[in-house]
Amino acid sequence: MRDLNQMIIKLDYANNFKDNDFYVSKSNKHIFDFLFNWPKWEKNFLNISGEKSSGKTHLTNIFLKKFKGIILNAETLSNKDLKDIKIYQNIVLENLSEKINEELFYSLINIIEQDNKYLIATSQVPIVNLNFGLKDLKSRVKSFLLYNIERPDDDMMFALILKNLSDRQISIDKKLIDFIIKRIDRSYGKIFDFIYKIDKISLKRKKPIDFKIIKEALGE
């Protein structure tokens, strides 16, 4: 975690999964605290849901860095994956959706339970809201602990805006960030899209980001 007033630093564009690049606020603190209380969980199955770009992958990468494990992609889950997990205690299943091979997913859950492993499944909607066709699978997913990353609060929005600007080596006045927060949708994806938009306008105009550029991006 990093103090907001110290976040304007030079950062690489590449994905960076360092602990101090993950910002904890009211939006995700409940998940962060629970996740890093491993293995003192009441169940071995955890579902972390949240909209796209809300930090699910970042969070699970920090978890695996500390506690070790393997990442599987739900969209490409295979029989080979079920064999590969044998040596790992923690399994992260990313991008869970109704597109997953349900029989393989059911088998994965059984392996986790039989071998006393831990499964963290990430998805954009809570796992219990996914419309699986396999009756036994529908029943099994009800045993997952459910944690949802909430929409970004003001602190989280400020941190994400500042982080994205820093990634682009841009520094702007705090008043401009406060102005943006009050006018854009409270959405992780929309934050990233808006920063891209004002950066593009700034480069095109060959001028630093100011109120005029921000208002243009807002369509005001």
Q: Which domains does the chain have, with CATH numbers?
A: 28-148 (3.40.50.300), 152-218 (1.10.8.60)
pLDDT by 10-residue block (mean), the chain, 220 residues: 35 41 89 95 97 94 95 98 97 98 98 97 98 96 97 93 89 92 94 94 92 92
**What confidence score (pLDDT) does residue 22 get?**
84
Element containing residue 146 per DSSP (H, E):
strand 145-148
Q: Which of 118, 213, 117, 199 is nearest to 161 (CA)?
A: 199
62 class by beta-carbon count within 10 Å (0-12 exposed, 13-18 middle, 19+ buried): buried
Question: Tokens 């009211």 identify what position?
Answer: 26
Q: Is 125 helix (H, G, I), strand (E, B) or coil?
A: coil
pTM over cut 0.75: yes
